[in-house]
């Protein structure tokens, strides 16, 4: 059983921020900044492709609620919402989860490096993505 499912069942303690019948939000034990929260569905889904759209929409509403709580109650100016989907993308726990990371001025958290497309490359990528 995955560690997040064990947390949902109460077998492993957590610092709970929010809970209802579908979703659990708790502090990340290795936070980027204080208040870094994980928002998970209580039902086990490995990746975003596995969750149905209604459940995902509900999960995102809770992510928004947590973001508002961080801004209003921790007085942070903003936050990042991050989903690492599959191990190659940095997903360490095979249970769908969103990170809600409070941002502090001068916290030195770097965003993704940006690159450029070569001539004609963007058009080829679009063709591959939209192909049935």
Residue with tokens 């997903």: 91
- 83-92: which pairs have CB atoms within 8 A and are 24 or more residues apart? 83/48, 85/47, 85/48, 85/49, 86/47, 91/47
Q: Is 95 designated active site?
A: no
Which is the catalytic residue, given 36, 95, 97, 99? 97
Cβ atoms of 8 and 48 closer than 8 Å = no
**DSSP SS3 for 125:** helix
Task: Give the whole-angstrom CA distance, residue 26 versus residue 28.
Answer: 6
Q: Could you list the active site residues?
A: 97
């Amino acid at each position: 059983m995955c560690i997040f499912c064990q947390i949902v069942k109460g077998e492993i303690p957590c610092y709970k921020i929010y809970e209802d019948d579908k979703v659990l939000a708790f502090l990340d034990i290795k936070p980027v900044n204080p208040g870094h929260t994980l928002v998970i569905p209580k039902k086990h889904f490995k990746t975003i492709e596995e969750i149905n759209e209604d459940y995902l929409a509900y999960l995102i509403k809770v992510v928004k609620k947590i973001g508002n709580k961080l801004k209003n109650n921790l007085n942070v100016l903003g936050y990042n919402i991050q989903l690492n989907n599959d191990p190659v993308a940095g997903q360490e726990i095979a249970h769908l989860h969103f990170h809600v990371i409070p941002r502090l001025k001068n916290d030195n958290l770097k965003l993704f490096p940006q690159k450029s497309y070569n001539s004609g490359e963007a058009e080829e990528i679009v063709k591959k993505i939209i192909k049935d």
